[in-house]
Amino acid sequence: MPHEVIMPALGMAQETGVLVSWLKRPGDAVRAGEPLMEVETDKAVMEVEAPASGWLTDVRAAAGDAVPVGAVIARIAQAKPDAPQAPPGPQAAAKEAEQPAPVAAPVAAPVAAPPAAPPPVATTPANGRIFASPKARRLAAEAGLDLRHLAQAGHPQPYHVADLAALRALAAPSGAAPCQIVARVPAAAVAGFVALMQAETGAAPPPGALAAGFACAALREVLAAGDAALTLALDRPGAPRRLLADPDRARFAAQPEAAAGAAPALILRDLSGGPFQHLRLGSDTGAAPVLSVAEQDGAFTLTLDYAPAQLSDEAAIALVAGLAARLAEPLRHLL
Amino acid sequence: MREITLSKAVNEAIAEEMRRDPTVFLLGEDVAEAGTPFKVLSGLVEEFGTERIIDTPISEPGFMGLAVGAAMTGSRPIVDLMFGDFLFLVMDQLCNQAAKTHYMSGGKLSVPLVLRTNLGATRRSAAQHSQSLHALVAHIPGLKVALPSSAYEAKGLMKTAIRDNNPVVIFEDKLMYNDKAPVPEEEYLIPFGVANIKREGSDITLVATSSMVQVAEKAAEILAAEGISAEVIDPRTIVPLDEETILKSVRKTGRAIIIDEGHQSFGITGEIASRISEKAFYYLDGPVLRMGAMDVPVPFSPTLEDLTVPTPERVAENARRLMRGEVFDAA
């Protein structure tokens, strides 16, 4: 004798319950007391337990159906059914269509066609203001690029980072291009070296001193300058320029100042500790090549800007390589 | 790892803490015999008895006030508020008393109280049982606010909340009670104020709370198929808010959409978007977009109700517009 499964009354004054889901499939074996289905009432979704043990058959309600309390929605057979049980047929499906599913709304809700995108502002506004994202403005400023050139070229606004490539293409002058070499070196070795110095001498080297010493040594090697005096200008953001005399030949803590007005052989821009990642200078590198050292994400970025008249390409490459090697293995500097 | 439902995760968290600490007790409507309308607390009254799992009369201000007093005098009550919409009934007890007692007593009193309630629409529960009101309490200094996005978070955050010496409001999404997620057998706690990077990406940051984390993850999948790499961040608690993780992500991607199921205006999305604009301005390559629930009472009509909340498709479409560098008007 099969046992009937009915829609239970879970609340007072409840007339129908919504079958949220079957937790067993037709033909599955069930034990009395095992969760059989989920039913939703006014405020709750609750699991309903199987009233008897056996096999679930004769399933008459599908997920989403609203069923009157007391109606038989399935049977639990005492014997295993022979044929696989078909799930509730089209009738249940049709009912489901009338009655929207009570939980987990289908995503197939009507979606209006997206409104047409407003056209980008095509020309420079009358007041000359240029529309650009803050990031695009910042990167352009850091790279010494002028967004007005894009506007003058008729490039549609607003400008984003992606538009800077077009600006770079515009900005690249045809004639005497400044030369630039960029290199990247892991910063871990320098950190270790600083820690060593801290331990040995009780004080970390002053800001920029390591880079100044290393760069001057690399330059001396490249220029084959021997014992000749080399002046190096050290620029750090927020600090006045320092002119150092042979900083590679002094202790880091006591690099001597050069005479005021001495012409530097190299301008070293120490940007480590700041947000800068990369700096491209204007075409005029002035009196001397400019070597910038930025530090970010555990690595130094070395950027050498120079004019062909100041350094040959080979010397420039050797200079960057020499500094990079010292930063990668600072103890070499002491040898 | 085993997978359990969000309901079961909350139940386990409360049971474990009640076993550990005899001062923890729970009160609310239909919490004992009924185990709440969502069956979250089933079995607790059998283990802990009606002295510690207390069915109250239908008077939210009454039992909330009782819990504040109990917390001030050495107990650690968990208040079960059947629907988040009923927060309006306990505003004085929660915001004027619980939130301010520690401050106004010069630190002599504390209120170690957990208010567990829910949020979330699309359950066809109409305008008075479908609201997501977490912004209301996040606005009040002195209250912490946790928004679990899965069973894993629900358990770890609940245990942290119960051990916290300050009032904590936890909002569970009422549509997620039957959602399963991997939850370790062994004990764990999730600290407050530590966001979870659910998915790493490089083009756009999607900051999402509660069930909107799933929406953001689905949107990220849609976008990935189109070659757009989205990072999904779940703050897990909005008070305290892990600003640093969000800012770090936006500095990397330059674009952000904030997705939350509270009403869009004057809500969580605006707060997080504003902090990004203030603190990562020079890293932004487009406007920070907010996506909250539509500023209307939640409709009872299923078709209309579904239109009021963010969906993966709408998130993906906004992400595409940001990637294209479109101009968003001020409306």
- Minimal-distance CA residue of chain B relative to A164: B285
Considering only CB atoms, which chain A residues are within 8 Å of B123? 102-103
What is the CB-side half-sphere exposure of residue A225 using CA atoms within 13 A? Answer: 19
pLDDT class for A25, splitting at 50, 70, 90?
A: confident
Which pLDDT score is estimated for B167?
A: 98
pLDDT class for A116, splitting at 50, 70, 90?
A: very low
Shortest Cα distance, chain B CAs vs residue A174, angstroms: 30
- Cβ neighbours, 10 Å, residue B320: 17
Provide the mean pLDDT of chain B: 96
Give the C-alpha separation, B331 to B322, whole Å: 16
> A2-16, A202-216, A279-293, B88-102 — which is least confidently predicted?
A279-293
Which pLDDT score is estimated for A286?
A: 62
Which pLDDT score is estimated for A151?
A: 85
Instruction: Name the H helices within B142-211.
Output: 151-163
Give the C-alpha separation, A311 to A322, whole Å: 15
Sort strands B256-263 and B204-208 into parallel, antiparallel or unpaired. parallel
- Minimal-distance CA residue of chain B relative to A112: B307
> A114-123, A166-175, A229-238, B9-18 — which is least confidently predicted?
A114-123
Give the C-alpha separation, A290 to A306, whole Å: 6
- Using a CB–CB cutoff of 8 Å, tell me whether A129 touches chain B: no
Give the C-alpha separation, B147 to B167, whole Å: 15
Shortest Cα distance, chain B CAs vs residue A191, angstroms: 23
The residues of B assigned a catalytic role are 60, 129
Q: b/e string for B49-71 if b means 16 or more Cβ within 10 A?
A: eeebbbbbeeebeebbbbbbebb
* Angle subtended by helix axes B6-20 and B151-163, to nearest 10: 30
Which pLDDT score is estimated for A113?
A: 44
| pTM score | 0.60
Which pLDDT score is estimated for A173?
A: 53
Provide the mean pLDDT of chain A: 78
* pLDDT of B326 above 50: yes
Task: Report the percent of chain A where pLDDT is more than 70.
Answer: 78
Domain B196-324 bears CATH identifier 3.40.50.920: yes
* pLDDT of A172 above 70: no
Give the C-alpha separation, A233 to A240, whole Å: 10
Residue of B82, B306, B312 lying closest to A109 (CB–CB) = B306
Considering only CB atoms, which chain B residues are within 8 Å of A158? 325, 327
Residue of B39, B177, B302 lying closest to A100 (CB–CB) = B302
Which pLDDT score is estimated for A43?
A: 66
- Residue that wins the pLDDT comparison between A271 and B53: B53
Average pLDDT (B14-18) is 98
* pLDDT of A13 above 70: no
Q: Which amino acid is at A308?
A: P
Which pLDDT score is estimated for A85?
A: 52
Which pLDDT score is estimated for A114?
A: 44
Which pLDDT score is estimated for B329?
A: 65
Considering only CB atoms, which chain B residues are within 8 Å of A135? 254, 282-285
The CATH fold of domain B3-182: Rossmann fold (3.40.50)
pLDDT class for A277, splitting at 50, 70, 90?
A: low
- Cβ–Cβ gap A104/B175 under 8 Å: yes
- Using a CB–CB cutoff of 8 Å, tell me whether A102 touches chain B: yes
Check if the beta carbon of residue A51 is closer than 8 Å to that of residue A81: no
Interfacial A residues in 164-203 facing B (CB < 8 Å): none
Which residues, 6+ apart, have CB-to-CB distance to A251 below 8 Å? none
- Spatial CA neighbour of B279 closest among B259, B258, B240, B249: B249
Q: Where are the domains of chain B?
A: 3-182, 196-324
* pLDDT of B99 above 90: yes
Residue of A38, A100, A158 lying closest to B325 (CB–CB) = A158
**Per-residue pLDDT tens for B278-304?**
999 999 999 999 999 999 999 999 999
* pLDDT of A101 above 60: no
Mutate to test the interface with B, among A12, A39, A43, A123 (most CBs of B within 10 A): A43
Shortest Cα distance, chain A CAs vs residue B122, angstroms: 6
Considering only CB atoms, which chain A residues are within 8 Å of B326? 117-118, 120
Average pLDDT (A325-334) is 84
- Cβ neighbours, 10 Å, residue A304: 22
Q: Report how far apart, in Å, the C-alpha atoms of A10 and of each of A4, A18, A23, A33, A45 are.
A: 17, 11, 18, 16, 10
Average pLDDT (B217-241) is 98
- Residue that wins the pLDDT comparison between A290 and B241: B241
Give the C-alpha separation, A133 to A158, whole Å: 7
Average pLDDT (A220-248) is 86
> A79-88, A284-293, B73-82 — which is least confidently predicted?
A79-88
* pLDDT of A244 above 70: yes
**Per-residue pLDDT tens for B163-193?**
999 999 999 999 999 999 999 999 999 999 9
Give the C-alpha separation, B210 to B172, whole Å: 7
Which residues, 6+ apart, have CB-to-CB distance to A257 below 8 Å? A242, A243, A244, A245
Residue of A47, A120, A133 lying closest to B286 (CB–CB) = A133
Taken in order of first residue, the domains within chain A and their CATH numbers are 3-98 (2.40.50.100), 117-172 (no CATH), 179-334 (3.30.559.10)
> A135-149, A282-296, B142-156 — which is least confidently predicted?
A282-296
Which pLDDT score is estimated for A122?
A: 44
Which pLDDT score is estimated for A123?
A: 47
- Give the residue numbers in B contacting A (CB under 8 Å), as ranges: 37-39, 82, 122-124, 129, 175, 177-178, 254, 281-286, 302-303, 305-307, 311-314, 317, 321, 324-327, 329
Average pLDDT (B96-115) is 98
Average pLDDT (B88-99) is 98
Shortest Cα distance, chain A CAs vs residue B317, angstroms: 8
